[in-house]
Copies of this chain bind each other. A is one copy, B any other.
Amino acid sequence: MSQPEGALAGIRVVDLTRILAGPFCTMLLGDMGAEVIKVESPGGGDAVRGQGVIKDGMSWYFAQFNRNKKSVTLDLYTDEGKARLAELLASADVLVENFRPGVLDNMGFDEARLKELNPELIVGSVNGYGSIGPYVNRPSFDFIAQAMSGFMSLTGEIEGEPMRAAPPIADLIAGLYCAFGVVTAIAARNRTGEGQYVEASLNNSLISLMAFLSAEYFATGKPPARSGNNHAIVAPYGMFKAKDGAIAVAPSNETYAIRFLDAVGLGELMDDERFRTNADRMRNRTELLVIIDAATERETVDHWIETINAAGCPCGRVMTLDEVFDDPQVRATEMVLDVDHGDHGSIRMTGFPVKMSKTPTRIHRPAPDLGQHNNEFFGED
């Protein structure tokens, strides 16, 4: 092969995960060059194989999250299935699972058994609430983590109801944290020679992203309220009217505010006593936003994006997904991939968010059919 090896070349991952959070974790490891062996139930396999739009026998949603994986089928309720899993684990570097806590143990693969099979094995788990605590046996789901992490209480219209993020961010961030933990454990194993357990939960993953909102709560004892698209403490900031649509502008400090107002021809407002300081502008925000909208609505979205960015103030279009994936910047950074899936045709998917200069992330195999690699691992079946 003339292509460079991936960063995780030589790392074998046994993947017992299904649906989204776990498969996203193992996709990230596969994108980095690990050999990922997806273990599925005979019959249907991962439920996502039947979800979303299916064309030529392949779900495009499944294809996205299961690229760079092999598929084998094992019935883990049988002794034969368990014996084959044990053999795979003995040869692996990493096991990733997203069962509820305790299920893997009950299946016969508790800590002692795994250590006996493979003392260097790293076990990554994605779960709902963590592996200890009062909710450990509760079923979990992205929407519930968005509710219980405080995320929804802070997001949405000021007068509206608490609002979830449309993408399943709790699932995906937990999967990403788990991948980070697994790779960190691989780096540590190079020094210590030992495997270990690594874990991320949907709930704690989202909680860890509350950032200045949690810092503000801890410092004041008062939970912050929803502020819609407005900045809580800076003005002007947010969405503004253009002739043919809306622009998002983020002048997060005084320097940016001056650049923005200059760029829209309103530099003199900074000498107006109503708007001289940020405190003045917050006090007279409604008035200020009316003045700015009256100026910005004279020109097009394209004009303002060009002009305001050139002035050094962050500005962009609120894009729908068709615009996003046609954006020349998104294309230039190869965030749209068309991947040949043989009989299933060419499937379009999102590219790689992490770029590596010497061990580039790439597609080394398309998403597998159910049990496509049984022969490779188990001989004739």
Chain A interface (Cβ < 8 Å from any Cβ of B): 7-11, 20, 28, 32, 47, 51-53, 55, 60-61, 63-65, 128-135, 138-157, 160-169, 171-173, 176-181, 183-188, 190-192, 194, 196-201, 203-205, 207-224, 226-229, 237-239, 248, 250, 252-253, 309, 312-325, 327-333, 335, 347-359
Which 5 pairs show the lowest CB-CB distances between chains A and B?
A133-B332, A53-B219, A154-B166, A147-B248, A7-B188
27 sample A-B contacts, Cβ–Cβ < 8 Å, listed by A number: A28-B180, A51-B212, A53-B216, A53-B219, A61-B216, A129-B329, A133-B329, A133-B333, A138-B314, A142-B250, A145-B316, A148-B248, A148-B327, A150-B321, A173-B209, A176-B176, A187-B190, A201-B353, A204-B330, A204-B351, A210-B324, A213-B321, A214-B350, A218-B348, A218-B349, A223-B321, A223-B323
Contacts of A320 in B (CB 8 A): 150, 153, 223
How many whole Å from A39's CB to the nearest CB in chain B?
21
Please determine whether A150 and B209 come into contact, CB atoms closer than 8 angstroms: no
Please determine whether A177 and B354 come into contact, CB atoms closer than 8 angstroms: yes
Determine the distance from Cα of A218 to Cα of B325 in the docked complex, in whole angstroms: 9
Which of A51, A185, A211 is packed against the most chain B CB atoms within 10 Å?
A211
Determine the distance from Cα of A330 to Cα of B128 in the docked complex, in whole angstroms: 12
Total identical chains: 2
Determine the distance from Cα of A278 to Cα of B40 in the docked complex, in whole angstroms: 26
Contacts of A63 in B (CB 8 A): 215
Please determine whether B166 and A169 come into contact, CB atoms closer than 8 angstroms: no
Determine the distance from Cα of A321 to Cα of B220 in the docked complex, in whole angstroms: 12
The 8 Å CB contact of A212, one of B52, B316, B330, is B52
Contacts of A321 in B (CB 8 A): 150, 153-154, 210, 213-214, 217, 223-224
Determine the distance from Cα of A250 to Cα of B138 in the docked complex, in whole angstroms: 13
The 8 Å CB contact of A184, one of B223, B228, B239, B356, is B356
Contacts of A318 in B (CB 8 A): 147-148, 152-153, 162
How many whole Å from A228's CB to the nearest CB in chain B?
7
Which of A129, A157, A181, A351 is packed against the most chain B CB atoms within 10 Å?
A181
Contacts of A349 in B (CB 8 A): 214-215, 218
Q: A52-B212, A61-B216, A212-B52 are in contact. Are A319 and B198 (CB under 8 A)?
A: no
How many whole Å from A97's CB to the nearest CB in chain B?
15
Q: A138-B309, A210-B167 are in contact. Are A204 and B333 (CB under 8 A)?
A: yes
Contacts of A328 in B (CB 8 A): 133-134
Contacts of A10 in B (CB 8 A): 191
Q: A179-B180, A215-B52, A219-B55 are in contact. Are A357 and B198 (CB under 8 A)?
A: yes
Please determine whether B185 and A184 come into contact, CB atoms closer than 8 angstroms: no
Contacts of A352 in B (CB 8 A): 208
The 8 Å CB contact of A32, one of B155, B184, B217, is B184
Please determine whether A172 and B211 come into contact, CB atoms closer than 8 angstroms: yes
Give the residue name and chain of the B residue nearest to A176 (CB): B176
Please determine whether A178 and B252 come into contact, CB atoms closer than 8 angstroms: no
How many whole Å from A98's CB to the nearest CB in chain B?
14
Please determine whether A130 and B333 come into contact, CB atoms closer than 8 angstroms: yes
